[in-house]
Amino acid sequence: AVSELKTYSIANIPADGIGPEVISAGVEVLKCLSEASGSYKIEFEDYDWSSETYKQTGSYIPEGGLDSLKKHDAIFFGAVGAPDVPDHLSLWGLRLAICQPFQQYANVRPTKILRGTTSPLRNAKTGDLDWVIIRENSEGEYAGQGGRSHRGLPWETATEVSIFTRHCVERLIRFAFETAQKRPRKHITVVTKSNAQRNGMVMWDEVAGIVAKDFPDVKVEKMLVDAMTCRMVLQPNSLDTIVATNLHADILSDLAAALAGSIGIAPTSNLDPTREHPSMFEPIHGSAFDITGKGVANPVGTFWTAAEMLRWLGEEEAADRLLECVENVCESKVVTRDLGGTAGTKEVTAAVCEEIKKSY
Ligand code: ATP
Ligand code: MG
């Protein structure tokens, strides 16, 4: 009997700025990979939700839009944000409007110095910086709680309340320990600011202590977020898995991406570890309007994102192969300007497709 090939359905949301440029590069590479492998199929459906839609209709996601996403196995997301829409409206209008109802509570950000690229850190080379940052993605400082009163008056007050619930902190820290346990070094750094923030952050430390007992083979270290920034720069080799709050990990992961060479190379996975909802995969960078339409956006972050999406779907072999091919292309110096090269998005994409075909 002829066995049916496994088919994955992906929702593409390219959205704003360089989003469409990098997502179409990512789709091209994913198609090339599935055809070359012959072991699974991948189908795409495009969703044109963006800041343009918002400006025309007043909302990013049309009525019933979220429901229509549920039928897909994963969401492949570009970037949201436009110069003429306030950032908090675009972020909450599209990205968080998907992350929150879909319970994508674990935001996973691997970073490493890819072969053929260089780090701004003196002496750091491939292998010296290989981290995965696990960011809380459902509450904390970005819970959206708070408000303003007495607008415009000198005594105007604005509050931004951080919400930490034991349930959400525990599920995230447990996920982070599981991640650490699967990596060769089995080492986790729990980051807080529990010296200054004495409620949520102290609970975070307590929960980490309790969860740690279930992972006796994982070495745990605690760091304050300010000291952590120094540690990342001065001793990158001493870190492996890092878990932090929504705000702290947001900042640390931009630093991580820069230390690894460019914000254009790193991926982000927004995971619902229960797998009740589709998870969402996006490059770490934003919409980068300064380079939009110029054909120079680095697609490597999106390729790595595509690899992480495949890994989540169960296609480990294809994921590893894709990343291997991307690193080969970086090593051959077909790279964009942000990595010191002269290639455009299309040349890098074509080179990666060539490399994939060659690899089979
Ligand atoms: P956001 O608020 O969505 O995070 P941002 O304005 O903070 O966006 P980015 O859009 O990520 O930041 O851009 C930051 C800088 O990095 C810009 O100068 C941009 O051109 C550059 N950059 C971002 N992504 C890429 C990429 N894929 N390739 C090359 N350069 C990039
Ligand atoms: Mg940013």
Average pLDDT score over residue span 33-38: 96
Q: Which ligand is nearest to the CA of 264?
A: 1
Average pLDDT score over residue span 247-257: 94
- Tell me if 290 CB under 6 Å of ligand 1: yes
Q: For ligand 1, pick from 80, 265, 285, 290 the residue to mutate: most ligand atoms within 8 Å of CB.
A: 285
Residue 308, exposed/middle/buried by CB under 10 A (0-12, 13-18, 19+)?
Answer: buried
**What is the CA(281)–ligand 2 centre distance, in A?**
16
ipTM above 0.90, yes or no: yes
Tally of CB atoms within 10 A around 344: 19
| 7-29 pLDDT per residue, tens | 999 999 999 999 999 999 999 99
**What is the CA(354)–ligand 1 centre distance, in A?**
27
Q: How confident is the model at residue 125 (pLDDT cuts 50, 70, 90)?
A: confident
- pLDDT at residue 4, rounded to an integer: 85
- Tell me if 344 CB under 6 Å of ligand 1: no
- Tell me if 288 CB under 6 Å of ligand 1: yes
The DSSP string of 297-314 is ---HHHHHHHHHHHHHHT
Return residues with CB closer than 5 A to ligand 2 (ion): 286
Measured from the Cα of 285, ligand 1's closest atom is 11
> Mean pLDDT over all residues of the chain?
95
**What is the CA(327)–ligand 2 centre distance, in A?**
25
pLDDT at residue 1 is higher than 60:
no
Q: Are 74 and 305 in contact (CB under 8 A)?
A: no
**What is the CA(217)–ligand 1 centre distance, in A?**
38
pLDDT at residue 107 is higher than 80:
yes
- Tell me if 287 CB under 6 Å of ligand 1: yes
The candidate with the shortest Cα–Cα distance to 22, out of 327, 291, 219, is 291
Average pLDDT score over residue span 169-191: 98
Measured distance CA(22)–CA(182) in Å, rounded: 30
- Judged by average pLDDT, the poorest of 76-80, 197-201, 245-249, 299-303 is 197-201
Q: Are 345 and 353 in contact (CB under 8 A)?
A: no
For ligand 1, atom 4, name the residue with the nearest CA.
286
Pick the more confident residue, 4 or 62: 62
* Helix ranges (DSSP H) in the chain: 19-37, 51-57, 65-69, 87-90, 96-99, 166-182, 200-212, 225-234, 246-259, 300-313, 316-331, 345-359
- pLDDT at residue 144, rounded to an integer: 86
Q: Which ligand is nearest to the CA of 77?
A: 1
| 51-90 pLDDT per residue, tens | 999 999 999 999 999 999 999 999 999 999 999 999 999 9
For ligand 1, atom 20, name the residue with the nearest CA.
288
For ligand 1, atom 21, name the residue with the nearest CA.
288
| 201-221 pLDDT per residue, tens | 999 999 999 999 999 999 999
- Tell me if 299 CB under 6 Å of ligand 1: no
Q: Are 334 and 347 in contact (CB under 8 A)?
A: yes
- Tell me if 137 CB under 6 Å of ligand 1: no
Measured distance CA(191)–CA(323) in Å, rounded: 28
Q: For ligand 1, pick from 50, 263, 346 the residue to mutate: most ligand atoms within 8 Å of CB.
A: 263
Measured from the Cα of 288, ligand 1's closest atom is 10
